[in-house]
Amino acid sequence: MTDVVRKDVQKKLLSGDYGCAKELTLSMFSGKWKIVILYHLGKDGIYRFGELKKLLPHASNKVLTQQLRELEEDELITRTLYPEVPVRVDYEITALGQTLLPIIDLMFEWGTNRLKQLKHVAPRNINEEAIKKKR
């Protein structure tokens, strides 16, 4: 899921149902590349489309564009087009987007600690879990 949540939240907003604050926040990240995009824009400043593509070589044109458009809709990033030849497009994080950075940092921290733990229980355990999943 992920964008199930996003659409759900949007629907609730439209119908005047202003509950589910956590879900609203979660829906900001939900999308395969959104966290990473926000992270880099928050950390390094401005990126051009092509630069983001290099950063995320596994993201297809379509999906990357889609994620950027949604982040823009959510007012977390801005898109600036310079009508030069060839065209240039800059993506930058907004003030609102920056307010998400502390959360992303916490997530990074938690994930890092958890990865350390998972290494200690030895890779074999992880494999066993994976096998268990296949049943």
Partner DNA sequence: CGGTATCCTTTAGGATACTG
Partner DNA sequence: CAGTATCCTAAAGGATACCG
Tell me the two tokens of residue 21. 């604050």
Contacts of residue 111, defined as CB under 8 A and 6 or more positions apart, other chains included, come to none
CA distances from 20 to 24, 103, 135 (A): 6, 17, 35
The reply to whether 68 sits near a copy of itself by the rule CB under 8 A is no
Least Å from the CB of residue 85 to a copy of itself: 27
Three-state DSSP class for 91?
strand
Interacting span for a copy of itself (CB under 8 A) from 48-56, 81-89, 101-109: 101-109
The reply to whether 22 sits near DNA by the rule CB under 7 A is no
The reply to whether 45 sits near DNA by the rule CB under 7 A is no
Phi, psi for 58 (deg, rounded to 5):
-90, -5
Least Å from the CB of residue 66 to DNA: 7
One-letter amino acid for residue 5 of the chain: V
The reply to whether 59 sits near DNA by the rule CB under 7 A is yes
Phi-psi region of 5 (alpha: psi -120 to 50; beta: other; left: phi over 0): alpha
Interacting span for DNA (CB under 7 A) from 3-11, 12-20, 99-107, 111-119: 3-11
Interacting span for DNA (CB under 7 A) from 17-25, 60-68, 99-107, 123-131: 60-68
User: Which of a copy of itself, DNA, none lies near 10, with the C-beta cut-off 5 to 8 A by kind?
Assistant: a copy of itself
Q: What is the dihedral of CA 15, 38, 26, 116, to 10 degrees?
A: 180
What is the x/- site pattern for a copy of itself, positions 4-43, by CB under 8 A? xx----x--xx-x-x-xxxxxxx--xxxx--xx--x----
